[in-house]
Amino acid sequence: MNYYFYPTNEKAFKQSAIGKFVRTLVYNKAMNEIEFSFVRSVKTEWKQSCKNNIETDHRIKALAGQNFEIYSWVVNSKSSLELPKFIEFNQL
């Protein structure tokens, strides 16, 4: 699985998420379709790394195979679907 985040900087991601939402979209490369997406409310700064926080979510842990790309980004509301320019995690 490949993970993509926006903001791409770990500290900036965590700080900008406080009091907002993190939208996560799971894309199945093999099927060329969106598997599912979800939005999480963020009340306090995440203690774990961004990648660890997302990959330990029960919805992500339930995925089988390596054909998935996981996109997570900070949004102002649950209904927001603004798409940022992603960079693969650890590719900065």
Write down the pTM of the prediction.
Answer: 0.87
Burial of 54 (0-12, 13-18, 19+ CB in 10 A): buried
Q: Report residue 92's pLDDT band, with 50, 70 and 90 as the boundaries.
A: very low
Residue in 72, 32, 66, 31 with CA at minimum distance from that of residue 51:
72
CA dihedral 11, 16, 18, 19 (to 10 degrees): 180
Question: What does the alpha-carbon distance between residue 89 and residue 83 come to, in Å, rounded to a whole number?
Answer: 16
Rounded to an integer, the average pLDDT of 48-77 is 93
